[in-house]
Amino acid sequence: MKLENERLYVEIAELGAEVTRIYDKKKGNELLWEGDPAYWKRHSPVLFPNVGKTYHNTVRIRGEQYPTSQHGFARDNTFRCISEKADQASFLFVSNEETRKVYPFDFELIITYVLDNNTLKVTWEVRNTGEETMYFTIGGHPAFCFAGEKETKEDYLLYFPGRKTLDYILIAPGEAAADPSVVYELELDQGYCPVNEEMFARDALIFDGGQFEEVWLCRKDRTPYVGIRCKDFPNFGIWSVKDAPFVCLEPWMGRCDDVGFDRELSEKPNVNKAEPGDRFEQSYVIIAG
């Protein structure tokens, strides 16, 4: 699937309804990571019905334990295109016998992409088609590649408009779960901080509490390169792989489990819910600088 306007050219795969290419026609830059498996084979997966990992890779729903996979199963299933125009498209994935083995809810997941000038709006719609309250987390995971072939993380800055400091937590060593007992401060200079390899030595930086609604990856001279606008998102992750020429800016509605979390999914912090017959909807926007 291809979307295009005067500024951007976008490609979307039916597998996972994943955006696989964002090309900035004005500046001649590929914005989205190419998916080289030497570093990371994906581009911009949709994380559903869980963001990150659950504690010990299981989840408790109505007293039953179910196995989970990192970031859920949506990214590894084929969606069907249900609406298509030159600058927008919608994709549908429906629960089935296989999904109910690991996630006992009936649902429809619709992902819509809309181009508008220099932006790509991503909308998730989760419809509860079952007879019980449905609980889930959902998130984005776009990876933005560097503009220059020989550029590294040290050639870039993160910019959080209007913020002086931010707090974040990290993944507990050996646990694949978050450790909220230790909170770190990200110091900013007029909203900016340098990107470097050491930032990601312990996986993602996890920002809780809806601390910002916009973040940019900028060049060292503070020229905006690519940004995310994410109003009303409680969680956000920033992640990369060692020596990889990309940074992921990840808006999340809910996140991975904390170390030791073994309660019902309905009790998980920032979990989303949809009552029978109801729907949940949230959007974020990718912005070409």
pLDDT tens digit sequence for 250-280: 999 999 999 999 999 999 999 999 999 999 9
Instruction: State the DSSP H helix or E strand holding residue 99, giving kind and residue range, or none if neither.
Output: helix 97-102
103 and 49 in contact (C-beta within 8 Å)? yes
DSSP 8-state symbol, 5: -
Tokens representing residue 169 in the block = 């937590």
What pLDDT, on the 0 to 100 scale, is given for residue 139?
98
Range of the domain at 145: 2-288
State mean pLDDT over 134-147.
98
pLDDT tens digit sequence for 48-107: 999 999 999 999 999 999 999 999 999 999 999 999 999 999 999 999 999 999 999 999
To the nearest 10°, the Cα dihedral for 27, 30, 31, 32? 170
pLDDT at 159 > cutoff 90: yes
Using alpha carbons, list the distances in angstroms from residue 57 to 67, 69, 71. Answer: 6, 6, 11
Q: What is the CATH number of the domain that holds 175?
A: 2.70.98.10
Band (25; pLDDT cuts 50, 70, 90)? very high
DSSP line for 214-240: EEEEEETT--EEEEEE-TT-SEEEEE-
Report the share of the chain in percent with pLDDT over 70: 100
pLDDT tens digit sequence for 197-213: 999 999 999 999 999 99
The model carries a pTM of 0.97
pLDDT at 222 > cutoff 90: yes
What pLDDT, on the 0 to 100 scale, is given for residue 211?
98
What pLDDT, on the 0 to 100 scale, is given for residue 21?
98
What pLDDT, on the 0 to 100 scale, is given for residue 149?
87
Amino acid identity at 54: T
What pLDDT, on the 0 to 100 scale, is given for residue 101?
97
Query: How many distinct structural domains can be found in the chain?
Result: 1
pLDDT at 176 > cutoff 90: no
Residues paired with residue 252 on neighbouring β-strands, in sequence order: 139, 235
Determine how many CB atoms are found less than 10 A away from the CB of residue 237.
23
> How far is it, in rounded angstroms, from Cα 210 to Cα 144?
22
> How would you classify the pairing of strands 214-219 and 224-229?
antiparallel
pLDDT tens digit sequence for 90-101: 999 999 999 999
Q: Taking all residues of the chain, what is their mean pLDDT, rounded to a whole number? A: 97
